[in-house]
Every structure is written in C-alpha cells, then in structure tokens.
Structure 1
Amino acid sequence: MSDREIELKLVCEPAELERIRCAPALKRMKQGRASGKHLHSVYFDTADLVLGQNGMALRLRRKGRGFVQTLKTQADRAGAGTVARDVGEYEAALPGTASTPDLNKLPEELRARIRALANGNAISPRLVSDIRRTVQNIATPEGDLIELALDRGALQAGGHDAPVCEVELELKEGTPASLYRVALDLNEIAELRIGHKSKSERGFALLHDTVPRAFKAEAVVIDHHATLADAYEIVLRHCLLHLMANEEAAVTQRSPEGLHQMRVALRRARSALEIFRPVIGGDLAVRLAAEAKWLAGELGAARDLDVFTSDILDPVELGAARSAALEKRVMQARDEAWERAIEVLRSRRYTRFLLEYGLFLTEKNWHVKRKAPAFARDFAGAALDKCLAKASKLGREIEDLEGDDRHELRKRLKRLRYALHFFSSLYDPEEVKAYLKYLNQLQDVFGGLNDVATAHMLLGRLAGGKEMRETASRILAWHEKRAAREWKGAIRLWKRFSGTTPFWRGEAA
C-alpha cells in the first residue's frame, strides 16, 4: 500500500511530555481514548548507507505475530510548509518468520531503484529503534483530524545509542496548516524544539559518528514563467531551509560557520520580505521580518567575537606585548555570547518563529497588491533597480563617507547582492557572474572595515587595565593601517562597479 504521510516532529525533555499529556487545552480536542504501543523496529541498509543517503528508510516493525514492512521516501517540504515533512510511505504485511525485507512487495520502480543503488551489496540490519508510544487522536476547531504521538525510547546502532523524546503530529484529515496551529498551541504548554531529522536519520548518524556541518545557501531557481506569488514562496522557503540546515551545527558543535550561516539566512529572509513588500506581503510577513531581525541580533554577539578572535586577534604578531589577560577576557566573553546564542536557539520564541514561518508558507495567505506585476520576471528588474539606486545614492559620495555611512553602504550593497541571488535564474548566468564578482569584492572590503569598527567597540568594552589597553592599542593600530589601504581599494572598486551597465535592463532569459 502506498500513501503520503504529512507529519511535524517536535523534540523535548521527558518532563515536557507530561506537561503535554496533562494539558487541559489538549483534553478538549481529544477524540476517543489514548492507546499505548511498543514499537520495535529494525532499519535495513547497505554498509555505506546508500538508501539513507538517497532519502529512503526501509524497516521491519513487529506487529502482532507478524511484521509490517515500510519504505519511506524522501520528504517533500514544499507542500507542507517546509518545517513539516510530506513523506512517501509504502507498507506491506510480512509473516512472523520474516527476517529481512521483501523487495518484491514494493512497486516495481522503487524495487528497481533500490537494487540499482545497492549494486549487489547486502541490505542488512543497521539500526534498532525501541519506542514506547502513546497515541491520541485529536480534532481541531476547524474539523481537521490529527494523530498525536508521544514517543519515549532509544535508537541503537553500531554500539552507540541516542535517546528519543519527541512529539509527532501526523495529519489524518484536513490541511497541513492545522499541524502548525496545534504545534503552536503545544509550544505554549511545553518547551519544544523542531525535530529536523527522522529517527532513521538520527540513528544512521550514529554509525559514522557524523559531525553536523555548516551549509551555504544553494542557488535559488525561479522558472521564467513563475508568477510573482510563486517567486515569493520559493525565495522565502529557500531562506527557511538555509536557516534550519545550519541549526544543528551551531547548537551541538558551536560551529562559527554554522552560526554565521544562520545569521546570513535570517538577513536574506528579512531582505526578501523587504524587497517584495511593495507588491506582496501581509501582517504575518511584517511579524516574521521583525522576529528575524531580533534573532539575528541575539546571535550577533557570538558571531562578532568569533570574527574578532580569528580575524582581528590572531593575525597580529604581538610577541611579548601580547596580553594573556585580554585574551582570557575575550574567550570568556565569547563563551558567554555562545551560551546566549544557544539559549535563544533552544527557546520557545525561536520555535514559534519557525512554526509561524512554516504556517505562512503553508497557508499562502499573503496579499498580492492590485497593481503588482503578475510575473516574477516583470518584478525582478524593478526590484534590482531599486536596490541599486539606494546603494548608488550613498556610493556617489564614497570618497567622503565615514563611519555609519560606510556601514549603511555596506548594508545596501548586501541587499543588492541578495536580490541578485534571488532572481539570478531569470537572467544569463555569465552576466550575473560578472556583475556579482564586483559586488563580492566590494562586500569583502566592506566586511573587513566593519570588523575593525566592531573591534573598536569590543576592545573598548573588554580591555581594562594598562596592560590590556596597550595590547588593544597595538591591535587596533595594525588593523587601522590595513583598513586605510583597503578603503582606497574600495573607492577604486566602487568606481569600476558604478560604471558597469546593469545587465537586467535587457530582457530576462
């Protein structure tokens, strides 16, 4: 039997499951009695986990005297608002004597694909999932039916194990938006976080002791015939996926690059909402932009101290003049900033932001203004012109810019670069590449200048006492000389850039 399973997963501490189980608000939605299940499942794959790498999870689960074989295929996040998962599911009953999956029970296309991926290698047990589940059906005020599952247990693979404590909301009848609304209600009852990985993904990671890594934003692909609303959805989903892809690296590994990419994703989302705002948006879009600004700000201190350590402190050869006390204070401040960043990323407010963002993408209840162009390609050129005009207004005075004005020009150039990334698929790639080269060079120079300005602020706050202040002065003097050289280069770069004809003023591809 084939089906689609739309689910939203939330993870928490054990005490939070009890809060949910006893919540009066949830009791009012209950349909029938709750039931308990013991789910013992074995997941199968090749030694190099080729099925998992291709978005498949093949398992046998004990049911009565027999087994249920299930193949889950890669989640389609587009139709479920990105945070929830729309998963293909293929089930078949197997006898109690079965010890391995029966691929003949699968549709021919999937059976052939699995055999091609395995390439003659054995498909064997790789992961055991042992879960105690409480299931309760609930009905929303809108009449949608949802299965609420509270899971406690463990995953075991390769001699390692990982605890499981999570809430699964599976849509039985209705629209995916109801999953988000229920999840938002639960988030007010208990401390919850979005579960980005399935049990099989978490379990298979144990086998290779996989370290979460950071991801840069992938290319945005907007079809030449896409409507304005289509482009809006594609760009916003792209930003949300970029944000969520880096959360694990930032939270579990304290990855400087992971945190940086999260802030980039938040800035891109804010820029997208601002760029599209004259023609499409809504009240929730305004709220999302404000929350993205808050989140980026809360993560900013840790990012600033990461950059200060790697780009400001480390390059300067101070020899005997180096202040151990200053370095200790910087490291202490950095640790405190990281603690705050992780606290924010584990907060209800962050979870609510992700759920509201996903709900916005699911419901698509944005308002397209009456005079808005129908197609993305008709809007893109005007949006790029507007971003360029704002940057050029300051850029014309570049030789006289100081402090805050330089920083403002940097932000305007960054927004232009984001807009180019959003709409680049509508234009000739070679023309986009050449134009972006100038912008990237300018951003590198402005980024370095901003780091020096941030260093002044941090050293002013952290450097106390004569020894630390002397070290701080040497660090700043070294970077000020570099910044003066780079600013001259920025002026030359701007003049070449401003003399370049914007490619989008021709026809879109």
Structure 2
Amino acid sequence: MDFGLDVSPDAVVNPISPRREAALRLAATPADVAAVAVTAQDRNLLAWDGRWRPLTRTFFDVADKRLARRGISVQVDMRGPVRLQRVVMAGIDPFGVVRRSVWSTRLRSGEPDLSAIDDPDLRERLGLVLPGDLRPVALARLNRARGFMLGPRGGGRATLIVEEGEVEDADGVRPLATIELVGEADTAWLLPDRALVLHDMAPLKVDRLVQPAAPEQTVPAPVKAAKTALPADIGVEEGADMLIRACVDHWTRNEASALDGRDPEGVHQLRVALRRLRSLFTLFAPIIAPAQLDRFRTEIGWLAGRTGPARDWDVFLSELLPPVRDACPDIVGLGNLAEAAETVRREGYLSLHEAMTAPRYAALLMRLGEALESGSLWSPSPEARLLRGGHLRDYAHHLLDERHSKVRKRGRRFVHLASADRHRVRIAVKKLRYATEFFSSLYPRKRAVAYGRAMAGFQEELGHLNDIATAERLLAILGARPEADEPQRIAIGVVTGWYACVAAELEPRLNAGWKSFLGAPVFWADGRG
C-alpha cells in the first residue's frame, strides 16, 4: 500500500472514503536528515531511491481558526500542473502518534473546494463553511523524499517521508526539516519502535504539531491532571495502560509551557505528572517486566529530579518570601535575597530546559510509547500474567489497604513524631493520595470524596510543613553563595525566624488533620469485584 503523498496525474483520489493512517513526526536538522538517510541505508534498514521532489503546500482555515481547533486541516498541494486538495482530520496521542483520516480531491485550480466532500462525519465536524470562507494561513515550500522501513524481524512496514524547506505564515518565514513515519492505522505500534531506531542515528525528537508544516501555535496554558474514569469491570493490564497513558498525556500537555518557562504552573504540573507516573510504575510493579521497570523508574526519576530546583525556587519566590517582605518592608536585605533567589531559579530552569531538549528526554518518550504499543512493558512471567488477567478492582483493593495501613503505621503517635518521621508520613500520604486518585472511579463517588477530602486536608498541612523545610534548605544555599553579603545574611535570619513561628502555629492544624484522616471511613471497604 502507498502510505505517502502522490500528486501525479494518475493519483487515486476519493472525496467520500478517507484513507486512515497513523504517523509519527520527528523534528530534525538538515544534517540530521542526511545522517539518518545514509546510516539507515548502510544498515539495510531503509529502501529509497534518494530522489527529492518539490512540493508546495498551502494551508487554509476560516478567519477564527475554528477548523484547526476541531483537528481539521484543509490543504492544497501543488506539484507541477497537478492540484490536490487534502482534508485531514487528526488527533494526537500522548506519545506523538497522530491518527488521521485523509480525504483527497483533484482540483482544477489552487483554491480549496469542499463541495465534493460527502462524508457525513467530516461534514458534521466541519460545520458551516461557506464558499470564500477559507483563506490561506501558511505556505510550505518543500523538497520531499520517501522510502520504506521494515518492522522488527520483518513485521510490518512504515513509509519514511523526509521534508526539508521553509514555512511562511503571518509570523514570518522559518525553516523546516522533519522525518515522518507513516503506517496503516492498525500498525501504529510500529512507529515508536522505528523512531527509536532512527533516534540512535541522530538526535531526533517528537514533533507534536498535529498537522505537518502547520502554522506554529501559541504556548498552551498549563493543565491539571484529568480524572480517568475506569470501567468497573476493567482488567488490571487494561487499567494500567489507561492510567499510564493519562499520566503521559498530563506530562506532554505541560511540556511546551515548562519549556517556555514564563508560567511557573507549567513546571509544577510537569513535576506532578512525572511523580504520578513514577508512582504508577510502583503500583503496577508486579506486572511490569523487571528490566522495563528499572529503566523507566530511573529515567522518569532523572527527569522529575530536574524539575525540582526550578519548582522549589518558584515556590520560594512566589509563596514563601512575599509574606515576609510584606510584613518587613524596611529590611533591605530581603530585596537582595529575592534577586539572589531569582538568579538561582534561572539556573534551575536552564538545567530543566537542557534536560527536556536532550536526546535522553526524546528517547524516554519513544521507549515508553514503544513499550506500551508493543506490549513489551508487561512481564511475561506466569505470576504476572495471572495478575494482569484479573480485575483491577480486586488489585486496587489490596493496594489501597496496603498504603492506608502504611500511613497509619508511620503516623502512630503523630503528636510526638520528630520532623524526619513526619516527612516519612507526608511521603506515605502522598503515595496513598496518588493511589486513591487513580482508583477512586472504581468505587462509589460519595464515599471516595469524603475520604479524599479528609486526606487532602491533612496532606495540605503536611505540605506547609514541607515548604518550611524547603525554605530552610534554600536559605542555606543562598547563604553559602560567595555573593551573599551582610544584609542578605540578616534577611536569611529574619525569614528563618518567621517560618519557625509559622511551624509552631501549624502544629494544632497538623494534629487536627491527622485525627480527621483517622476518622474517615475507607471508601473501598467491601469493594471487591
């Protein structure tokens, strides 16, 4: 089957029945493109003729860009005398795999014409688009080549499409170099695997624009984790797959904002997503292949660790230092302290940016996508297969019991616990909360909400205690800097004293939160499926 674009005079077009395909686009430099082509051919992984063909593609939308928001792209391709309209309806998964339907129509001119589209689903999605409503929003001038990559052990085949050129839109002209892997809709599993093979040849990264060469998008706002509604009768493996994908979706939806760095919430949500994902690998460790478990725990931990300094300094500057400065405006050193903290925060953001643009980051997403799509994430052992085939509700019941008991055990005689022991309670509560968030949809909502409210209240107070400990650690870092002067050291003493008082005031609320948590009935009692 021909997976690539064909705009020859005898190209097969069908405005009624779409071609359904999956694609994974990899951003590259022209040098990367050349390296991949040469290396892949040398290893007998790629079959292509090396011929580059010019292509001009114009992207159209209505004035308010609503088609793009609906996941639809109207394109007109021109190669020589041939004009081909492509209407593409697409969505992207957390790993960058685009699943799209393509309706192709031969045109007499370079203007789009939707009148020939007769697919009811597409018509409904398009809505009312009158003649003349469509206007060009971007123009891509490309050179394109393509070849074929066989799957591992000869299983399946993917088309490899290479594009180099430039894209012009309202913001100007920018270069473009991409490698796109395209397969039939039912061979999406093959694309992350072949992307990893290419990534070993050059430092490629997943390109998350749904439409190739589409106009660049504004940085999306940070988003919180969406609740995953699990069917009551879902199996363990299927449930684990759904939850892992949801966490990766939360991660990648905040990727652009974290890289942009202007909204601290982007880094915060990225950090939350990575912590939740790592927690899932612990929850489902008995059904995950040991080598995969070790790899992903290590890699996700590495990335989550890079978010730490940026997030800690964000909290210090936006939440911990302001109340002290407001209450003590005459202490000059507090302003100097804020400037020093801002310098260290920038270093933290730079470290995170370096990690997120490194080949290791791209490889982590590709490997995780490949492991899920191919099924290699799961342990083949008889014990694991037995667990994977069971009901998630039974599995969750055991895990929730275990984590709830651990919190109660670590919090025994909470009033008398030292700071280090209370920190261990906080970590246990956080792990329990992740588990309840993952599995609560399997149980009656009213009881889950009541338990979650009690736990969240206690966790919030423990979080304030952790913020105080973080402030002490960050103040020590600032005080150890060679640039720290006497006014800054005085300011450090003031902030330290301030939060010592806050900690004392926090004690009654902590104890009340612990009692409230102990009194909340567990929502999974008698909940085995």
Q: TM-score, with normalisation over the residues of structure 2?
A: 0.88
CA distance in 2: counterparts of 1:149 and 1:403, whole angstroms: 58
Q: Residue in 1 aligned with 2:55?
A: 39
Letter of the structure 1 residue corresponding to residue 139 of structure 2: V
The 5 A counterparts of 1:346-495 are 346-365=357-376, 366-367=378-379, 369=384, 372=387, 374-463=390-479, 464-495=484-515
Q: Is the 8 A contact 1:57 1:200 kept in 2?
A: no
Q: Residue in 2 aligned with 1:189?
A: 201
CA distance in 2: counterparts of 1:467 and 1:146, whole angstroms: 64
CA distance in 1: counterparts of 2:470 and 2:62, whole angstroms: 50
CA distance in 2: counterparts of 1:201 and 1:493, whole angstroms: 53
Q: Is the 8 A contact 1:72 1:87 kept in 2?
A: no
Q: Is the 8 A contact 2:146 2:161 kept in 1?
A: yes
Give the direction of change, closer, same or farther, for the CA distance of 1:200–1:274 in structure 2 (3 Å limit).
same
Q: Is the 8 A contact 2:458 2:513 kept in 1?
A: yes
Cα deviations across residues 45-81 of structure 1 (Å, max 9, x unaligned)? Answer: 221122211121121211442322222223263xxxx
Unaligned regions of 5+ residues in structure 1, if any? none
Q: Is the 8 A contact 1:254 1:338 kept in 2?
A: no
Q: Residue in 1 aligned with 2:111?
A: 99
Letter of the structure 2 residue corresponding to residue 244 of structure 1: T
Letter of the structure 2 residue corresponding to residue 291 of structure 1: E
CA distance in 1: counterparts of 2:210 and 2:386, whole angstroms: 44
CA distance in 2: counterparts of 1:106 and 1:37, whole angstroms: 31
| CA-CA distance at 1:241 after TM superposition | 0.8
Q: Residue in 2 aligned with 1:164?
A: 176
CA distance in 2: counterparts of 1:481 and 1:452, whole angstroms: 10
CA distance in 2: counterparts of 1:441 and 1:361, whole angstroms: 35
CA distance in 2: counterparts of 1:446 and 1:25, whole angstroms: 57
Q: Is the 8 A contact 2:20 2:99 kept in 1?
A: yes
Q: Say which SS state the counterpart of residue 133 (structure 2) adopts.
A: coil
Q: 1:297 aligns with which of 305, 308, 312?
A: 305
Cα deviations across residues 443-475 of structure 1 (Å, max 9, x unaligned)? Answer: 222222111111111111212343222100101
Q: Is the 8 A contact 2:222 2:253 kept in 1?
A: yes
Q: Say which SS state the counterpart of residue 314 (structure 1) adopts.
A: helix
CA distance in 1: counterparts of 2:124 and 2:343, whole angstroms: 56
CA distance in 2: counterparts of 1:382 and 1:146, whole angstroms: 43
| CA-CA distance at 1:371 after TM superposition | 5.0
1:321 is the counterpart of 2:331: yes
Q: Is the 8 A contact 2:59 2:214 kept in 1?
A: no
CA distance in 1: counterparts of 2:185 and 2:49, whole angstroms: 18
Q: Residue in 2 aligned with 1:122?
A: 133
Give the direction of change, closer, same or farther, for the CA distance of 1:191–1:242 in structure 2 (3 Å limit).
same
Unaligned regions of 5+ residues in structure 2, if any? 1-13
| CA-CA distance at 1:402 after TM superposition | 2.2
Q: 1:178 aligns with which of 190, 215, 218?
A: 190
- RMSD of aligned Cα (Å): 2.4
Cα deviations across residues 362-384 of structure 1 (Å, max 9, x unaligned)? Answer: 01230262552611112121111
| CA-CA distance at 1:494 after TM superposition | 1.0
| CA-CA distance at 1:508 after TM superposition | 6.8
| CA-CA distance at 1:259 after TM superposition | 1.0
Give the direction of change, closer, same or farther, for the CA distance of 1:390–1:447 in structure 2 (3 Å limit).
same
Q: Residue in 2 aligned with 1:287?
A: 295
Give the direction of change, closer, same or farther, for the CA distance of 1:252–1:154 in structure 2 (3 Å limit).
farther
Q: Say which SS state the counterpart of residue 315 (structure 1) adopts.
A: helix
CA distance in 2: counterparts of 1:53 and 1:173, whole angstroms: 22
Q: Is the 8 A contact 1:445 1:487 kept in 2?
A: no
| CA-CA distance at 1:10 after TM superposition | 1.4
Q: Is the 8 A contact 2:144 2:163 kept in 1?
A: yes
Q: TM-score, with normalisation over the residues of structure 1?
A: 0.91
The 5 A counterparts of 1:50-129 are 50-75=66-91, 77=93, 82-116=94-128, 118=129, 122-129=133-140
CA distance in 2: counterparts of 1:228 and 1:290, whole angstroms: 23
Letter of the structure 2 residue corresponding to residue 67 of structure 1: R
Letter of the structure 2 residue corresponding to residue 394 of structure 1: R
Cα deviations across residues 278-302 of structure 1 (Å, max 9, x unaligned)? Answer: 3555421331122111111122111
Q: Is the 8 A contact 1:10 1:194 kept in 2?
A: yes
Aligned length: 500
Q: Residue in 2 aligned with 1:22?
A: 38
Q: Is the 8 A contact 1:162 1:203 kept in 2?
A: no
Letter of the structure 2 residue corresponding to residue 330 of structure 1: A
Letter of the structure 1 residue corresponding to residue 312 of structure 2: D
Q: Is the 8 A contact 2:85 2:112 kept in 1?
A: no
Q: Say which SS state the counterpart of residue 238 (structure 2) adopts.
A: helix
Letter of the structure 2 residue corresponding to residue 292 of structure 1: I
Letter of the structure 1 residue corresponding to residue 121 of structure 2: E
CA distance in 2: counterparts of 1:67 and 1:180, whole angstroms: 32
CA distance in 2: counterparts of 1:360 and 1:19, whole angstroms: 26
Q: 1:342 aligns with which of 350, 353, 359?
A: 353
| CA-CA distance at 1:19 after TM superposition | 2.6
Letter of the structure 1 residue corresponding to residue 127 of structure 2: R
Letter of the structure 2 residue corresponding to residue 164 of structure 1: L
CA distance in 2: counterparts of 1:412 and 1:325, whole angstroms: 37
Letter of the structure 1 residue corresponding to residue 29 of structure 2: E
Q: Residue in 2 aligned with 1:260?
A: 268
Cα deviations across residues 73-119 of structure 1 (Å, max 9, x unaligned)? Answer: 23263xxxx41424232232323325122342341331243135x49
| CA-CA distance at 1:268 after TM superposition | 0.5
